[in-house]
């Protein structure tokens, strides 16, 4: 459909907006809205007639009065931070409503689904919801970290605590593909947006987050819905007096755990042993080792703790949010201004973010509504020019026996050891990034007066993302002691500059036809959707080196060539455009709110495939039966309050492939590879094409039940799921010999089966007006296996990834340590590298007496956990609140390599576990003998390559990465309304929170969530936070 067609549809909506309305005799209803926990009336609670623009708000005592159309309607009663209630009102009278504080969900709570809402009791798909109250309890910069442990179905890995880059990887129900992205689709207020748009939302702007996990809930999004959908609904205004809310929190961050690195005396002692084992000269004499022990000369014999020098101490973070909400029956608004400031553990690292939002709803008539959503985000990130991996490689590598700084001189430089303090010094330059994002969403909704329940909606969304990066490298001298009391200064490094600019615009048009009507016991709702999206983007960058000084840090000042005539500048850039066209339809039916059915279909057209394969169809079906509503269940009332059985099946798609326009034969430029007439010239390289590449498909099935017991005191939700991912988009590089020489085209090459179960249980109890508490637990178990994948010919069964989990470890299986001569004689195998006492033994798989690549085998599953779980609880006593969240993972492994596992890797440090190593005096040590050659060229540290879609491994260094973490804890106090009313406040809350407080794990040297096997990452931070919430 062309843009002009969308304009015509929107024009129809505008014309209908001037249509007349039908008037009839109204009925009057009234009542009081109170808090379940305090029993007090709630001022400014919203009361809305569902499906209309008729609404009001409660007065200071919680009372309301409202005029309903003839025949009545459904009252939707809501209050910020509390669970929304729906109450049928068909006759005039009193309708009192009690709202819960949101610690648990109720069956009448509204759940946001794709392009609509449903009552929780009528949902037949697998949807989990996180509300504002839970989100703001977690003092994090990145919203992805606020989801960890909160709901079932989300597998998470937070691999870094770096300011501005501390996002968690999110896997909805695990991993189902070995090629391409596993990232879910992110939707904010009905518009598909980027993962960063989601992650950098201010939690104070968010009403709820819905995680759509099965096909029936996610299929309406079609493209990329195969990995699941995370859907955000931001806050909107409610009619009534303006409510002003202000929140502030301030926190201190620090490293959760330092490696137990040995000091200089132990390091020098173990180094001497390793050098003796290797038969090489001993670096430190006994007298020098003793000098390290006594610390008598800290200049010549230092004890440098590199980790604490770089990461010691604390950093600060701070957040402010000011928002306004209110309006009239005709106009409602929500406006928010947020600021977040996060410092790094060294001064050259930091992150600042500004969030702005305005959500405006205007009722032009009783049947016409328009909405304007405007939001913006400004991000500023400062970092050193040395990358994170470079900083922490040397932080972990550098031994304690070398100095970091010569007092009164400058940074020390010893041999090949790079000084990370020089790398993080602001004087060495900066790598600054600015991200400016504008997100807009305008819609008009018109109810069709002559067809009750029918409405048209047109949506126009325009987003613009701009990114600017400036990287300036400057000279900072280092010094080497000359042995005669003096120091040698390093050579001058002339400054250099690189700048890069990226921008993307995204335009989306939607036309929706909605229908929602009840006919006695029959409920029908339907949606028809047309959508078109375009995303052009471009970027360019340039740089120059050889600056004489750092006074003018602009490109025009830098030289284009040096004194030798060599070019010292470069420039690059690119431009691209993406597009998508979609049609979707969905129908919901229920009989007597007891028998539930939903069907949907979505058709997507993508540019990534040839015209004959461009369109993909994605149907889904679901059904539910509320068993507890049957007459034969009447005897269970009071014990079993609610029981629903549900099931779903559907297909979703993925069009993300690692090569644009792979169905077209084309050429790729090659730089300076072809000699003609004695001159090397650029050329063109033909690229192979695949004209029949098509959609990757995901068939998902789900079956489960929900139950509530003892008047809502206990609840349990269970879902069993199965996904069969077919036609996986990838390449045959693992199957085609490298001698082919050219780039391969994308193909539909594989199949993966993923299945599991998720459980969510809870208990909520209100003891009296002052006391209440809740306990919740959730668990997700997911297991995948590769059913089909391109692999090399003659791959032995022991090395075949098919039938194994994605990312499994394959390699050498350690069978012990050679502890004595008898064991060495019995081992009796030939290895690539010499083997002796204290070395690791490996299984000879093919029994040929040789340990080589033929002995690689399946070892264990990989770094994505198969089990994740969360346990939360809370209590309230009068104005006091307490909440706690534990989060953990099991059936997950991590391989420790380089500085995270080996002693003296690359001449590096040694950690405390090496005190229990094999030696003639300690033949039962847990670790092998010491060696200074801790590389892949020695027997003990061989990590052979694994097959495609897997990881290479050595079972001796693969460790159990299961963990349990005290993720979040909060203590708060709410001041009584009577105490603060005189100050004009309706709410005053003070709180203290902690994040990542304690971690229990067997894994050493690295955080159990990281996937960096070397330990070269910015560690996850513990946060100690306090703050205040005010409402006027």
Give the tens place of pLDDT for each residue, 683-692.
777 788 899 9
Give me the pLDDT at residue 674, please: 67
The Cβ of residue 827 has, within 10 Å, a number of other Cβ atoms equal to 17
Give me the pLDDT at residue 80, please: 57
Measured CA angle at 454 (ends 453, 457), to 5 deg: 125
Give me the pLDDT at residue 697, please: 92
Euclidean distance between CA atoms 7 and 14, whole angstroms:
10
50: which residues sit within 8 A by CB, 6+ positions away? 73, 74, 75, 76, 86
Give me the pLDDT at residue 894, please: 94
Give me the pLDDT at residue 109, please: 65
pLDDT tens by residue, 346-370: 999 999 999 999 999 999 988 899 9
Give me the pLDDT at residue 6, please: 44
Give me the pLDDT at residue 521, please: 87
pLDDT (mean) for 40-57: 77
pLDDT band at residue 620 using 50, 70 and 90 as cut-offs:
very high
Give me the pLDDT at residue 675, please: 74
Give me the pLDDT at residue 636, please: 85
Residue 917 in this model has a pLDDT that exceeds 50:
yes
Which residues lie across from 677 on neighbouring strands? none
Residue 948 in this model has a pLDDT that exceeds 50:
yes
Give me the pLDDT at residue 832, please: 83
pLDDT tens by residue, 724-766: 999 999 888 888 887 777 788 899 999 999 999 999 999 998 8
pLDDT (mean) for 490-507: 94
What are the φ and ψ backbone dihedral angles of 1009, each rounded to 5 degrees?
A: -90, -15
Euclidean distance between CA atoms 869 and 892, whole angstroms:
13
pLDDT tens by residue, 763-779: 998 888 889 899 999 99
Residue 17 in this model has a pLDDT that exceeds 70:
no
137: which residues sit within 8 A by CB, 6+ positions away? 883, 968, 970, 993
Kindly report the average pLDDT of the chain as a whole number.
88
pLDDT band at residue 320 using 50, 70 and 90 as cut-offs:
very high
Give the strand order in the sheet containing 405-406: 405-406, 410-412, 478-481, 487-489
Residue 261, both tokens: 């690195």
pLDDT (mean) for 392-401: 91
Which one has a higher pLDDT value, 881 or 86? 881
Residue 479, both tokens: 């010094």
Give me the pLDDT at residue 627, please: 93
pLDDT (mean) for 920-930: 95
Residue 52, both tokens: 């209309």
pLDDT band at residue 106 using 50, 70 and 90 as cut-offs:
low
DSSP secondary structure string, 627-694?
Answer: GGGSGGGGGGTTTEEEEEEEEEEEEEEE---SSTTTTS-EEEEEEEEEEETTEEEEEEEEE---TT--
Long-range CB contact pairs, 557-565, < 8 A, 24+: 558/496, 558/497
What percent of the chain is predicted at pLDDT more than 70? 95
Inter-residue contact 338 to 205 (CB < 8 Å): yes
pLDDT tens by residue, 651-661: 998 888 878 88
Euclidean distance between CA atoms 84 and 99, whole angstroms:
7
- Residue 119: enclosing H or E segment and its boundaries? strand 116-119
Measured CA distances, 725 to 169, 216, 489, 603, 698 (Å): 20, 16, 60, 18, 4
- Residue 276: enclosing H or E segment and its boundaries? helix 264-278
pLDDT (mean) for 577-604: 92
Residue 650, both tokens: 């559907």
For the chain, the domains span: 26-247
Which one has a higher pLDDT value, 81 or 341? 341
The Cβ of residue 540 has, within 10 Å, a number of other Cβ atoms equal to 14
The Cβ of residue 53 has, within 10 Å, a number of other Cβ atoms equal to 21
pLDDT band at residue 39 using 50, 70 and 90 as cut-offs:
low
Euclidean distance between CA atoms 574 and 48, whole angstroms:
50
The Cβ of residue 54 has, within 10 Å, a number of other Cβ atoms equal to 19
Inter-residue contact 28 to 67 (CB < 8 Å): yes
Give me the pLDDT at residue 15, please: 41
Residue 7 in this model has a pLDDT that exceeds 70:
no
What percent of the chain is predicted at pLDDT more than 90? 56
Give me the pLDDT at residue 850, please: 92
Which one has a higher pLDDT value, 78 or 549? 549
Give me the pLDDT at residue 748, please: 92
Burial 696-706 (b: 16+ CB within 10 A, else e): bbbebbbbbbb
Strand 97-99 and strand 110-113: the pairing is: unpaired
Residue 103 in this model has a pLDDT that exceeds 60:
no
Which residues lie across from 990 on neighbouring strands? 973, 1028
pLDDT tens by residue, 803-819: 999 999 999 999 999 99
pLDDT band at residue 64 using 50, 70 and 90 as cut-offs:
confident
pLDDT tens by residue, 993-1015: 999 999 999 999 889 998 888 88
CATH architecture, range 26-247: Sandwich (2.60)
Residue 107 in this model has a pLDDT that exceeds 60:
no
Give me the pLDDT at residue 976, please: 85
Residue 200 in this model has a pLDDT that exceeds 80:
yes
Euclidean distance between CA atoms 149 and 144, whole angstroms:
11
């Amino acid at each position: 459909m062309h843009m002009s067609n969308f304009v015509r549809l929107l024009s129809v909506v505008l014309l209908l907006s001037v249509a007349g309305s039908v008037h009839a005799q109204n009925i009057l209803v009234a009542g009081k809205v109170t808090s379940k926990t305090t029993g007090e009336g709630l001022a400014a609670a919203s009361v809305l007639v569902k499906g209309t623009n008729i609404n009001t708000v409660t007065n200071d005592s919680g009372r309301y009065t409202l005029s309903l159309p003839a025949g009545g309607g459904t009252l939707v009663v809501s209050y910020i931070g509390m669970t929304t209630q729906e109450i049928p009102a068909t006759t005039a009278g009193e309708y009192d409503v009690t709202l819960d504080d949101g610690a648990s969900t109720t069956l009448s709570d509204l759940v946001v689904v794709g392009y609509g809402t449903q009552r929780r009791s009528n949902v037949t798909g697998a949807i989990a919801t996180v509300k504002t109250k839970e989100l703001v309890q977690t003092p994090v910069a990145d919203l992805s970290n606020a989801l960890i442990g909160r709901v079932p179905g989300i597998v998470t890995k937070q691999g870094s605590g770096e300011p501005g880059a501390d996002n968690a990887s999110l896997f909805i129900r695990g991993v189902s593909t070995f090629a391409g992205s596993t990232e879910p689709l992110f939707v904010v207020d009905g518009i598909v947006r980027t993962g960063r748009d989601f992650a950098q939302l201010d939690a104070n702007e968010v009403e709820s987050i819905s995680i759509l996990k099965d096909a029936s809930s996610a299929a309406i999004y079609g493209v990329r819905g195969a990995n699941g959908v995370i859907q955000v609904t931001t806050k909107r205004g409610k009619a009534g007096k303006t409510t002003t809310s202000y929140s502030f929190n301030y926190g201190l961050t620090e490293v959760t755990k330092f490696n137990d690195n040995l000091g200089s005396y132990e390091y020098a002692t173990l180094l001497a042993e390793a050098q003796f084992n290797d038969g090489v000269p001993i670096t430190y004499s006994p007298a020098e080792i003793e000098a390290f022990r006594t610390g008598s000369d800290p200049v010549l014999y230092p004890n440098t703790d590199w980790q604490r020098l770089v990461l010691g101490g604390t950093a600060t973070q701070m957040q402010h949010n000011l928002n306004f909400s209110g309006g009239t029956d005709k106009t409602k608004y929500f406006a928010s201004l947020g600021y977040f400031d996060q410092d790094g553990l060294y001064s050259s690292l930091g992150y600042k973010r500004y969030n702005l939002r305005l959500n405006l709803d205007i009722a032009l008539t009783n049947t016409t509504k328009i909405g304007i959503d405007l939001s913006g985000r400004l991000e500023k990130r400062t970092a050193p020019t040395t990358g994170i991996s470079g900083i922490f490689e040397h932080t972990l590598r550098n031994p304690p026996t070398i100095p970091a700084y010569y007092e009164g001189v400058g940074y020390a430089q010893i041999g090949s050891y790079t000084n990370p303090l020089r790398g993080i010094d602001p004087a060495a330059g900066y790598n600054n990034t600015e991200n400016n994002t504008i997100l807009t969403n305008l819609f008009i909704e018109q109810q069709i007066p002559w067809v009750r329940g029918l409405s048209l909606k047109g949506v126009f969304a325009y987003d613009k993302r701009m990114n600017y990066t400036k990287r300036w490298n400057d000279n900072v001298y280092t010094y080497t002691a000359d042995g005669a009391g003096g120091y040698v200064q390093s050579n001058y490094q002339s400054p250099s500059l690189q700048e890069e600019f990226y921008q993307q615009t995204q335009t989306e048009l939607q036309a929706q036809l909605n229908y929602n009507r009840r006919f006695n016991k029959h409920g029908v709702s339907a949606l028809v959707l047309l959508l078109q999206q375009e995303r052009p983007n471009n970027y360019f960058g340039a740089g120059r080196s050889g600056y004489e000084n750092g006074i003018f840090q602009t490109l025009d000042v830098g030289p284009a060539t040096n004194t030798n005539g060599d070019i010292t500048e470069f420039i690059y850039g690119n431009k691209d455009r993406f597009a998508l066209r979609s049609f979707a339809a969905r129908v919901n039916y229920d009989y007597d709110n007891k028998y539930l059915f939903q069907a949907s279909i979505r058709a997507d057209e993508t540019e990534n495939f040839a015209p004959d394969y461009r369109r993909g169809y994605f149907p889904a079906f679901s059904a539910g039966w509320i068993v507890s509503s049957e007459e034969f269940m009447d005897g269970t009332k009071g014990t079993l309050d609610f029981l629903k059985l549900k099931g779903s099946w559907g297909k979703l798609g993925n069009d993300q492939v690692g090569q644009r326009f792979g169905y077209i034969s084309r050429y790729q430029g090659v730089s300076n590879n072809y000699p003609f007439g004695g001159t090397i010239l650029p050329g063109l390289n033909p690229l192979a094409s695949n004209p029949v590449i098509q959609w990757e498909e995901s068939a998902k099935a789900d079956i489960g039940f929900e139950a509530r017991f003892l008047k809502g005191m206990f609840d349990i939700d269970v879902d069993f799921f199965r996904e069969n991912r077919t036609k996986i988009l990838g390449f045959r590089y693992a199957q085609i010999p490298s001698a082919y020489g050219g780039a391969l085209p994308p193909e539909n090459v594989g199949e993966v089966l993923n299945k599991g179960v998720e459980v969510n249980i809870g208990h909520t109890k209100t003891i009296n007006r002052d006391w209440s508490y809740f306990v919740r637990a959730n668990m997700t178990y997911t297991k995948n296996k590769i059913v089909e994948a391109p692999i090399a010919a003659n791959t032995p069964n022991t090395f075949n990834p098919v039938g194994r989990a994605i990312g499994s470890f394959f390699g050498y299986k350690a069978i012990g340590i050679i502890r004595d001569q008898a064991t060495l004689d019995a081992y009796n195998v030939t290895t690539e590298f010499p083997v002796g006492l204290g070395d690791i033994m490996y299984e000879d798989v093919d029994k040929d007496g040789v340990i080589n690549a033929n002995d690689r085998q399946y070892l264990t599953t990989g770094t994505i956990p198969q089990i994740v779980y969360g346990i939360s609880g809370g209590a309230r006593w009068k104005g006091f609140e307490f909440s706690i969240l534990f989060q953990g993972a099991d059936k997950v492994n991590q391989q420790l390599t380089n500085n995270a596992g080996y002693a003296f890797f690359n001449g590096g440090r040694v950690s405390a576990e090496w005190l229990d190593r094999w030696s003639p005096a300690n033949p039962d040590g847990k670790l092998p003998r010491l060696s200074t050659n801790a590389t892949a060229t020695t027997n003990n540290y061989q990590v052979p390559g694994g097959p495609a879609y897997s990881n290479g491994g050595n079972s001796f260094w693969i460790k159990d990465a299961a963990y349990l973490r005290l993720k979040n804890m909060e203590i708060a106090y709410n001041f009584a309304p009577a105490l603060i009313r005189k100050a004009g406040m309706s709410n005053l809350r003070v709180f203290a929170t902690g994040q990542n407080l304690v971690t229990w794990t067997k894994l050493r040297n690295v955080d159990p969530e990281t996937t960096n096997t070397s330990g070269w990452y910015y560690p996850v931070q513990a946060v100690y936070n306090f703050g205040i919430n005010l409402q006027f």
